Structure 1
């Protein structure tokens, strides 16, 4: 059985939201585990098979997937009936994969570096910087309501997460703020907020 290892109020919350959006019901088990938090609280949970004790982590029999973008791609391919991601052969598939990998490889790192006040020419040359990443989002969301066009997708769920989590502490343009509000105006978000007290 598919199992997602999850710690409330962490990066794995987005995967639990995705499961609700996908309507997986009893096809995926969510195993709550503890993790070491940024403030030093918590502890590594021996039940969590992630090699670093982190979440989210997905197991599927003998197979396993780590990193949110990879888990989201895996699950949206596994449960395509929800329509949250274009499948191989769809003309939007390349854009979808690009946003997913851009988030994991560019946006989250530059957001963390910016928040931490770290700056170096090598980072800007390879990853770009937060302002450039924000501009990329703004250019897209000034033209259309969601990253892939008219409809909400798993790319929106992933990429809007930091703005929802950090709120006004994370700089955003009006187009990006409006997009985040649309992404947060979902029954799955309301249910998770009530369940996790986020």
Structure 2
């Protein structure tokens, strides 16, 4: 059984989507968190995340925290879901590259745009533009980041775009990609579970 430590309408929301894609049994453990954008809430002592943030999962005696780590862990632990190339697969390197790129390039670019840092540090605008070009180049080759195959990388990238779409310029290509991802049955089920859980819950 997988336990997801979850705070509604947070980074752990996309883990509901991931768990629905995988289809393995799981339980949701609601935790409260500090929400930096509003300054509300506080960390939950019952949350095993090292920083009392989300997401975190427990599975078979293992604890995994942070979105990229959880995506990598679960796509390997449940290969039958087909959400990530396994070691030895010729596409493994590309998959790992997308996961690392998401954390190292896309997230910082999105946050910089949302916080106004791009205006204060024009040099960052170059990297921000590169992120958009990288996404659009990939989507010119297929409906998902790795062509015809939906992977954990798409889950990370599409969920970030859904949260911070205003951080990137208009792009019919990106909007169509977001729609494809959001219309997946698992994404719809995950969103419904998140909406049903309210804004903030305490353990």
TM-score (norm 1): 0.88
- Secondary structure of 1:112's counterpart equals helix
- Structure 2 partner of 1:133: 131
- Secondary structure of 1:10's counterpart equals coil
- Secondary structure of 1:129's counterpart equals helix
The alpha carbon displacement at 1:162 in A equals 1.9
- Structure 2 partner of 1:16: 16
Larger RCO (CA under 8 A, 6+ residues apart): 2
- Structure 1 partner of 2:4: 4
CA distance in 1, matches of 2:133, 2:124: 17
Q: How does 1:1-198 map to 2 (within 5 A)?
A: 1-25=1-25, 28-37=26-35, 38-119=37-118, 120=121, 129-168=127-166, 170-197=168-195
The alpha carbon displacement at 1:192 in A equals 2.6
- Secondary structure of 1:197's counterpart equals helix
Over the aligned positions, Cα root-mean-square deviation in angstroms equals 2.0
Gaps of 5+ in 1: none
CA distance in 2, matches of 1:146, 1:94: 16
Change (3 A) 1:11 1:80: same
- State whether residues 123 and 129 of structure 1, in contact with CA within 8 Å, keep that contact through their aligned partners in structure 2: yes
Gaps of 5+ in 2: 197-203
- State whether residues 16 and 194 of structure 2, in contact with CA within 8 Å, keep that contact through their aligned partners in structure 1: no
The alpha carbon displacement at 1:121 in A equals 6.8
CA distance in 1, matches of 2:189, 2:47: 25
- Secondary structure of 1:58's counterpart equals strand
Change (3 A) 1:149 1:184: same
- State whether residues 36 and 44 of structure 1, in contact with CA within 8 Å, keep that contact through their aligned partners in structure 2: yes
- Secondary structure of 1:103's counterpart equals helix
- State whether residues 134 and 172 of structure 1, in contact with CA within 8 Å, keep that contact through their aligned partners in structure 2: no
- Secondary structure of 1:31's counterpart equals strand
CA distance in 2, matches of 1:158, 1:63: 22
- State whether residues 14 and 161 of structure 1, in contact with CA within 8 Å, keep that contact through their aligned partners in structure 2: yes
Number of equivalent positions: 193
Runs of 4+ aligned residues of structure 1 deviating over 3 Å after TM superposition are: 60-63, 119-124, 166-170
Per-residue Cα deviation, 1:80-117 (whole angstroms, up to 9, x for no partner)? 00111111111111111111111011100111012111
- Secondary structure of 1:43's counterpart equals coil
